[in-house]
Structure 1
Amino acid sequence: MYDAFLLVSFGGPEGPDDVLPFLENVLRGKNVPRERMLAVAEHYQNFGGVSPINQQNRELLAAIENEFRANGISLPVYWGNRNWHPLLPDTLAQMKRDGVQRALGFFTSAFSSYSGCRQYRENIAAAQQVVGEGAPEVDKLRMFYNHPGFIEPMIERTQAAFAQIPAERQTSTPLLFSAHSIPMSMAGNCRYEAQLREAARLIAEGIGHPEHRLVFQSRSGPPTQPWLEPDVGDVVKELAAAGTKDIVLVPVGFISDHMEVLYDLDHEAHDLAGELGVNFVRAGTVGVHPRFVRMIRELVTERMSGAEKPALGTFGPSHDVCPVDCCKYEPRRPT
């Protein structure tokens, strides 16, 4: 049924001159003040104008290719981004030239939302229109927030973070799970928050530390627009005021250590905690953990062969084909 694999991701700038054009792509049509865009641009310029996400995707692609080769999967691997090169229209055009007719798409988001699923499907459809007749079909693989191949590596990463806390303080250390905030109007028509809470519960129970909280970060909308809360910075302040000595934070909403992890957590949240006298330990993301890479291969083989669909917890496996109104979102445009 399938003759290629497509990694679909967000994209990021790879030099100072890329930053503003990249952010303009990200924010096109969104009601985000220009001052906010320029502030985010400074975050990237602090890292030389280079987002780590593209290199992380290259490493993931290489790991996937090796995993496919070792297990007899002969699908060629492609990569296309929403916001920066390699852009999806260019990738689909290359796939067409290579004779690809139908590909399996893996989105670098574990959770269902407009931004993490439906918008990527819209991006693919728009790219297919650009490419025109003969553009390859792309069927997305299911969301993997409760797949053992995601949860098990995150348990391992979280255990490694707790190992950095003195043993006598570990049981009293607050455990926070962080994800990108989204507008409440977007959250109301998807399972983003429920899936995040389920993944956090599974990880927390997996390390034997069931007391935990879900926090949010990186909001970019106007102050008048309600977004998912609480903000990670507010919770850090609250815990510090209560006398907390240590915090372990798990960036469960991200699969790699890209800019919103490095800046918003490792810089802003970490520095805030330090100013308040709190030891802040951030767990790693799954990255190219071998179990996670194997999970991607398993998602491919289950679709191609009808194999069992493993899922932890109470929700069961996510759907393969999204309903028509799945994660629908119609943002209010600026007037």
Structure 2
Amino acid sequence: MTRIDALLLLSFGGPEGPEQVMPFLQNVTRGRGIPAERLASVAEHYLHFGGVSPINGINRDLIIEIEAELARRGQAVPIYFGNRNWEPYVEETVVHMRDNGIRRAAVFTTSAWGGYSGCAQYQEDIARGRAAAGPEAPELIKLRQYFDHPLLIAMFAEAIGDAAATLPEHLRERARLVFTAHSIPLRAASRCGPDLYQRQVGYTCRLVAAAAGYADYDQVWQSRSGPPQVPWLEPDIGDHLDALAQGGTEAVIVCPVGFVADHIEVVWDLDNELAAQAAGYGIAMARASTPNAQPRFARLVLDLLDEVRLGRPAARIVAQDPVPGFGSSINGTPCTPACSV
């Protein structure tokens, strides 16, 4: 057993008012040379929703669900909330944890994946938070990647069924299932091991499709940014929808398997832009929900926590050997030698 004093939910962050949108986007893109006009274009996506990203609210609701699940189990673990790009910043949160006497905490991140953006960058956040807290900083143990956790697979599989049920009945059986995840630059694709992110996403798609009863499906990418001359993972979901339309597809079920919450890349890129594109083609589109703050997601978090504090075996669905790598990290140290932070 490992003593754990607290749980830190670590996430990406998002604006919660119109005046916060541009400063937030500047935080996200600092050092990447993104033109101001591109930031202004993305800012309009947030302003469409009053300048409020759904992500912070969803995370606060998830914390409430985790606390409720802990109470049902008769357990008490204080939960803290920190972000990379907006308030509450992880640095401030870790200082607060130190001041509250927390000596060792587990860290749950709102990304199921390996790779730089999904894992290594969160390790950098952890290291930065501890640096801000100084010599008395708590030990921080990042919980493992959970792309193959049975509850994650079940939540997405059920969401696909719920989405299919919203389609016209005569189209449900022939609707095309399309999985989508956030694209990344090709130059970053093997930074933490050969194609680790792509392999994990592909593995999850395979598991979810099987659980939902689909023998055939498509896997695509979305929400690329940056200069057009820089290659990113393809095919893009919009280009793929073009191809489906040309092939006579009448209905699609879109599952944003790469996202654990309905944040801006889901509610704008899919529910607005892609939905409008589908409507223009006369294609019926249904979008599967993400886990958000479901009670099952809270149980998943506590499963990961118990793997560390109680030494319980990892809850996983094993459909191939070897499973694309996963691990935990301590104090922001990479979990595998291949992970270059």
Same fold (TM over 0.5): yes
Q: How does 1:188-267 map to 2 (within 5 A)?
A: 188-190=190-192, 191-267=196-272
Q: Cα distance, 1:74 vs. partner?
A: 2.0
- Please identify runs of 4+ aligned residues in structure 1 that moved more than 4 A: none
Q: Does the 8 Å contact 1:31/1:222 carry over to 2?
A: no
Q: Cα distance, 1:227 vs. partner?
A: 0.5
Residue among 304, 307, 312 paired with 1:302:
307
Structure 2: distance between partners of 1:12 and 1:323:
27
- Tell me the residue number matched to 2:38: 36
Q: Does the 8 Å contact 2:5/2:104 carry over to 1?
A: yes
Unaligned runs of 5+ in 2: none
Q: Does the 8 Å contact 1:171/1:209 carry over to 2?
A: no
Q: Which one-letter code corresponds to 2:286 in the other structure?
A: V
Q: Which one-letter code corresponds to 1:226 in the other structure?
A: P
- Tell me the residue number matched to 2:119: 117
- Is 1:107 matched with 2:109? yes
Q: How does 1:1-335 map to 2 (within 5 A)?
A: 1-190=3-192, 191-312=196-317, 313-314=319-320, 315=323, 318-321=326-329, 322-323=334-335, 325-328=337-340
Structure 2: distance between partners of 1:113 and 1:326:
10
Q: Does the 8 Å contact 1:215/1:235 carry over to 2?
A: yes
Structure 2: distance between partners of 1:73 and 1:196:
33
Q: Does the 8 Å contact 1:20/1:41 carry over to 2?
A: yes
Q: Cα distance, 1:310 vs. partner?
A: 1.6
- RMSD of the alignment, in Å? 1.5
Q: Does the 8 Å contact 1:215/1:232 carry over to 2?
A: yes
Structure 2: distance between partners of 1:121 and 1:189:
14
Structure 2: distance between partners of 1:73 and 1:169:
47
Say which is worse superposed, 246-255 or 115-124, in terms of deviation: 115-124
Say which is worse superposed, 139-148 or 312-321, in terms of deviation: 312-321
**Relative to structure 1, is the Cα distance of residues 31 and 326 closer, same or farther in structure 2, using a 3 angstrom cutoff?**
farther
Q: Cα distance, 1:2 vs. partner?
A: 1.2
Structure 1: distance between partners of 2:157 and 2:316:
15
Q: Cα distance, 1:35 vs. partner?
A: 2.0
Structure 1: distance between partners of 2:337 and 2:226:
24
Say which is worse superposed, 121-130 or 134-143, in terms of deviation: 121-130
Q: Cα distance, 1:317 vs. partner?
A: 7.6
Cα deviation, 1:10-68, whole Å, max 9, x if unaligned, reads 00000011001100100011142322211101111111111111101110011011111
Q: Cα distance, 1:159 vs. partner?
A: 0.8
Say which is worse superposed, 63-72 or 96-105, in terms of deviation: 63-72
Q: Cα distance, 1:325 vs. partner?
A: 4.0
| TM-score with structure 1 setting the length | 0.95
Q: Cα distance, 1:70 vs. partner?
A: 1.5
Which secondary structure state, in structure 1, belongs to the residue aligned with residue 40 of structure 2?
helix
% identical equivalent positions: 43
Structure 1: distance between partners of 2:94 and 2:298:
23
Structure 2: distance between partners of 1:181 and 1:327:
19
Q: Cα distance, 1:124 vs. partner?
A: 1.6
| TM-score with structure 2 setting the length | 0.93
Q: Cα distance, 1:165 vs. partner?
A: 2.6
Q: Cα distance, 1:160 vs. partner?
A: 0.7
Q: Which one-letter code corresponds to 1:259 in the other structure?
A: I
Q: Which one-letter code corresponds to 1:244 in the other structure?
A: T
Q: Which one-letter code corresponds to 1:279 in the other structure?
A: A
Structure 1: distance between partners of 2:202 and 2:224:
19
Say which is worse superposed, 121-130 or 82-91, in terms of deviation: 121-130
